[in-house]
Amino acid sequence: MKTWIALLRGINVGGKHIIPMKELSKLLEEAGFAQVKTYIQSGNVVFQHATRPRDEIGQLIEGKFGFKPSVFILSVEDLQRAAANNPYPTDIGKTLHFFFFDKEPETVDEALLTSLQAASEEFVLIDKVFYLYAPDGIGRSKLVEKIGKAFPDVEMTARNWNTINKLLALAG
């Protein structure tokens, strides 16, 4: 068995696509996933499975909850590499965000990113991770609001530095 991390996109946000983490854990365990641990309500799951699950988690959720979220599956090594590649200070937990892409983007509208970037924000794309330092918060960031337009050919989900560290700790 190998340890994996699932990042679910767009669940438990604004009263939509509600998935109680205890129910998700039970659903995965009943489907043969082992050592299932969740972290906060935004869809972070650490588990063991013989192989990288492809579409299985999304299908299980669809069958139980009636909708299919995007599910990003990372190995522990993938998450460790993303953390190691982080170019920003590590004491800025909630203001440092990792946007995980489902694939490397073929198109990047750098002019759009730069035009939306606040004076206090910094960003860089490394492999399939877009790192954003947003000291004023992502809730106020025009860049975050329109980031999908800058990367039109990828799906993405974001987690802050604190969550990355917690997931690495849970993964052991």
d(CA 80, CA 96): 16
Q: What is the percentage of the chain residues whose pLDDT exceeds 70?
A: 100
- More confident of the two residues 123 and 54: 123
Matching fold, domains 2-77 and 80-171? yes
CA dihedral 80, 43, 152, 143 (to 10 degrees): -80
Q: Give me the half-sphere count of Cα atoms (radius 13 Å) on the Cβ side of residue 89.
A: 6
| Residues 6+ away with beta carbon under 8 Å from 30 | none
Rg of the chain taking only CA atoms, in angstroms:
16
Task: Specify whether domain 2-77 bears CATH 3.30.70.1280.
Answer: yes
What is the model's pTM? 0.94
- CATH number, domain 80-171: 3.30.70
Give the pLDDT confidence score for residue 1 in this predicted structure: 94
Q: Where are the domains of the chain?
A: 2-77, 80-171
Assign 59 to helix, strand or coil. Answer: helix
- Helix pair angle (161-171, 76-85), 10° resolution: 140
Does the pLDDT value for residue 14 go beyond 80? no
Torsion region of 132: left, alpha or beta (phi above 0 gives left; psi -120 to 50 gives alpha): beta
Confidence of residue 16 (pLDDT cuts 50, 70, 90): confident
- More confident of the two residues 122 and 15: 122
